[in-house]
Amino acid sequence: MPSITNASIAMSPLFLLRQIRDVMAGAATAQARLDHVVRIIAAGFSSEVCSVYLLRAGDILELYASQGLKATSVHQTRLNMGQGLVGEIAATAEPLNLADAQLHPKYVYRPETGEEIYSSFVGVPVLQGGKVIGVLVVQSKNAKRYSDDQVEVLQTIAMVLSELAVSGQLVDAQEIKAATGGLTVQQLSGMRMSAGIAKAVAVLHQPQLVITDYVATDINQEKARFEQALLSLQESFDQYIQNSGLSDDDEQLQIIETYLLFTRDRGWKARIDEAIGTGLTAEGAVKKVQEELQAKMNQLASPYIKERIQDLEDLSNNLLKVLLGKDIAPQPAHLPEAFILVARSIGPAELLTYDHTRLKGLILEEGSMTSHTAVIARAMDIPALAKVLGATTIIQPGDTVILDAESANVYVRPGDDVEAAMDKHLRHYAARETEYAGLRDLPAVTRDGVTISLNVNAGLFVDSKNILQEGVDGIGLYRTELPYMTSADFPDVEVQRQLYAQVYEQLPGKRIIFRSFDIGGDKKVPYLNPGEEENPAMGWRATRIGLDHPGILRTQFRALIQACTDRTLYVMFPFIAEMAELEAVRRLFEQEWAQAAQKPPEYRIGAMIEIPSLLWQLPTLMQRVDFVSIGSNDLMKFLFACDRGATHMAGHYDTLSPVMLRVVREVTLAAKAQNVEAGFCGEMARKPLDALALIGVGVRSLSVSALAIGSLKAMIRSVDLAELTVYMDYLLSSSEPSVRHWLEAYAKDHAIVL
């Protein structure tokens, strides 16, 4: 079949694009600009007709502008998705190029347009974010097929037009979102990384990159820019692989190598080159190819393909970043007052670049309970979920999002009913906060006069700030590993000393228990490579690393001794399995202490109880420490051989199991016998009912996140501890998997505030 050649485009593609760009940049109304653009395209294609259809709510394609069709049909002619040729293009996101449109089975006759006299038809989708938002059509009386080059040029024009289409000036921006399936109420679910509930607007960690210049001034220059950007991207990947020390079978390495393969993919490169050839800038061309691939692959359901889309999207975004020379993290000044961050994945260092006073929650498509980011989110005290599939595509920037990490649900663009229910919930939370504020200056004493020491878990300056206001005794667990995890190299004595000194400064007179680093395992640091570990949580971590590399531990001890000037230094060792380990680490500390020129008046040594083997060494342990702290996060995991981070295991074993509580009672009894303080710093203590059980089995010092202090104080002040202890003794003989219901009933009957 003969085809219309390029020569029959009345002007060169570049000239055509420039004309369109100039009109689009003009001051006329959006409708007037669109009307003008269709006239230019029709002329440029030496065709009688050029029309633009835009997607409206309800999957309707409305004729928005036309040169050649009857003027009265504009804004009148509407087609459903899949209806007619235009509907077919929208439904498949594929161009249609026909010599005789009326022969196509999908052709529908719309008399109001007067299009029956036109034979040839070429239509392309207008894409945004891989979704069809409109259709651009050129028609001619001449029954000839348009050339592939012309289809390509038309696609390029559609790309440029998409900016006008989504500007919100033609179709309301909210309506576009709704029409592309972006605005429906959605409920997503994931896995809890950090507890809490928040409602705020969504900010996407990698927002769509904004391209301001689509039309090339010099095509050769744009081709060179693209080559250069690709080269520098390849170099940065190569460098990353060299520096990362990743092993061959490391998944991360495989992902990067896939990226590298993409960058060398001739087809992909050729498509971008071709798009530049039609007059786009390098960034415009990358975006165009990205859009087309997304649209094509969105039609497929295969999860494998979907993953590849993500890979390509990441690659294109990286390339765009290089081309635009931009830092894509939104600047704090542009962030909303309160926002929930949505990302595919985010590193701890990146998370820390966001203004923590505005950051109210975190939603990740990837991530896990034990990732570094989860540790940071908990330290920041923001609700956070991992494994929320589809979050970055379903949640749009600016959407209202309710993040309920308690039930691991996300409500996107919640309806009035959900919002009202959640608002009630949040108001209830807020009212309780006010109530707790009234308790700030009152002691945490039970009704029968027993004082419970309330402390906070910390690990970043961000949480040190509010601690004083909460009326607490001090920091029961300072996780020193966070600065290790967020720096590229092992932090030296001075860096660490300054960090610890600042903590002392922020909390004058308070007791601060510094835990020596618990890096390794799930808290990987870039400068220590444990090799392949099947069970990192049970692997080379914490004190185990410190004992294999005593220099690292001694550096930390030196910094801790130097930083503490005006009070007793409290140091706690994590992940102790054997008394021999405790003795060895203690010796290292004492060596540093002996050699220190300047030191605090005295020190106290403590151990975390988080590995079950220590439970059979309690009497000897208590002789060699000044205090212990139970870490239920690890202890529960090892006691029940259950990784609670795994979704399908969630809820299998209760923290209020009589077994767990008996263990805690054993520890408190052994500690009491030697006059050693037994504290508790695991997550479970933040819940008032769990904390009630803990004090009922002898714990007298709790360390929890700052936000939980108020509710614990209210609970403690409403308890008769002697009575509770008797009841707990009774409950501990139960062979049920949990005593939760009994304890709840007890609390209700005894008016205990939970």
- Contact set with ligand PEP (CB under 6 A): 477, 479, 518, 610, 631-634, 681-682
CA angle 674, 675, 679 (to 5 degrees): 110
The window from 123-131, 211-219, 482-490, 625-633 that contacts Mg ion (CB under 5 A) reads 625-633
Q: Position of tokens 């040169």?
A: 67
CB 692 within 8 A of CB 727: no
520 lines the binding site for Mg ion (CB under 5 A): no
The window from 201-209, 462-470, 501-509, 610-618 that contacts Mg ion (CB under 5 A) reads 610-618
Between the alpha carbon of residue 398 and those of residues 165, 365, 391, 392, the distances in Å are: 19, 18, 14, 12
Would you call 655 helix, strand, or coil by DSSP? Answer: coil
CB 195 within 8 A of CB 429: no
Closest approach, Cβ 564 to Mg ion, in A, equals: 23
Chain centroid, CA 421 distance in Å? 25
632 binds, among Mg ion, ligand PEP, none (CB under 5 to 8 A by kind): ligand PEP
CB 612 within 8 A of CB 638: yes
Residue nearest to ligand PEP (CB): 631
The window from 325-333, 398-406, 563-571, 608-616 that contacts Mg ion (CB under 5 A) reads 608-616
48 binds, among ligand PEP, Mg ion, none (CB under 5 to 8 A by kind): none
Subset of residues 25 to 84 that bind Mg ion, contact rule: CB under 5 A:
none
Closest approach, Cβ 661 to ligand PEP, in A, equals: 15
13 lines the binding site for Mg ion (CB under 5 A): no
Residue 490 CA to residue 478 CA, distance in Å, equals: 18
165 binds, among ligand PEP, Mg ion, none (CB under 5 to 8 A by kind): none
Nearer to ligand PEP, 359 or 519 (CB): 519
721 binds, among Mg ion, ligand PEP, none (CB under 5 to 8 A by kind): none
Q: Position of tokens 């991530």?
A: 367
Tokens representing residue 632 in the block: 């239920």
Q: Answer positive or negative: Cα dihedral of 438, 442, 444, 446.
A: negative
Nearer to ligand PEP, 290 or 632 (CB): 632
522 lines the binding site for Mg ion (CB under 5 A): no
Nearer to Mg ion, 204 or 630 (CB): 630
634 lines the binding site for Mg ion (CB under 5 A): yes
Subset of residues 186 to 215 that bind Mg ion, contact rule: CB under 5 A:
none
Closest approach, Cβ 636 to ligand PEP, in A, equals: 8
474 lines the binding site for Mg ion (CB under 5 A): no
316 binds, among Mg ion, ligand PEP, none (CB under 5 to 8 A by kind): none
Q: Which of 330, 361, 631, 696 binds Mg ion (CB under 5 A)?
A: 631
Between the alpha carbon of residue 565 and those of residues 497, 598, 625, the distances in Å are: 11, 8, 22
Enumerate the H helices of 77-165 as residue ranges.
Answer: 84-92, 148-165
Closest approach, Cβ 216 to Mg ion, in A, equals: 56
Closest approach, Cβ 582 to Mg ion, in A, equals: 16
Between the alpha carbon of residue 473 and those of residues 181, 231, 469, 509, 605, the distances in Å are: 51, 56, 11, 10, 18
Nearer to ligand PEP, 34 or 630 (CB): 630
394 binds, among ligand PEP, Mg ion, none (CB under 5 to 8 A by kind): none
Nearer to ligand PEP, 479 or 700 (CB): 479
Q: Is residue 18 packed enough to be buried (19+ CB in 10 Å), middle (13-18) or exposed (0-12)? A: middle
Residue nearest to Mg ion (CB): 634
CB 488 within 8 A of CB 469: no
Closest approach, Cβ 743 to ligand PEP, in A, equals: 21
Listing DSSP states for 608-653 in one string gives: EE-SGGGGGGHHHHHHH-SEEEE-HHHHHHHHTT--TTSGGGTTSS
Closest approach, Cβ 609 to Mg ion, in A, equals: 10
Q: Quote the DSSP letter at residue 8.
A: G
Residue 278 CA to residue 289 CA, distance in Å, equals: 13
CB 655 within 8 A of CB 684: yes
Closest approach, Cβ 492 to ligand PEP, in A, equals: 23
Tell me how many residues contact Mg ion (CB under 5 A): 3
347's CB contacts (< 8 A; 6+ apart) are 372, 373
| Cβ atoms within 10 Å, residue 579 | 16
Closest approach, Cβ 539 to Mg ion, in A, equals: 13
414 binds, among ligand PEP, Mg ion, none (CB under 5 to 8 A by kind): none
Residue 571 CA to residue 515 CA, distance in Å, equals: 6
479 binds, among Mg ion, ligand PEP, none (CB under 5 to 8 A by kind): ligand PEP
683 lines the binding site for Mg ion (CB under 5 A): no
Nearer to Mg ion, 40 or 572 (CB): 572
Q: Quote the DSSP letter at residue 330.
A: P
**How many CA atoms lie within 13 Å of 251's alpha carbon, on the beta-carbon side?**
0
The window from 65-73, 322-330, 606-614, 639-647 that contacts Mg ion (CB under 5 A) reads 606-614
330 binds, among Mg ion, ligand PEP, none (CB under 5 to 8 A by kind): none
Nearer to ligand PEP, 194 or 281 (CB): 194
Closest approach, Cβ 387 to Mg ion, in A, equals: 22
Q: Which of 610, 654, 683, 690 binds Mg ion (CB under 5 A)?
A: 610
Would you call 4 helix, strand, or coil by DSSP? Answer: strand
Residues at the interface with Mg ion (CB under 5 A): 610, 631, 634
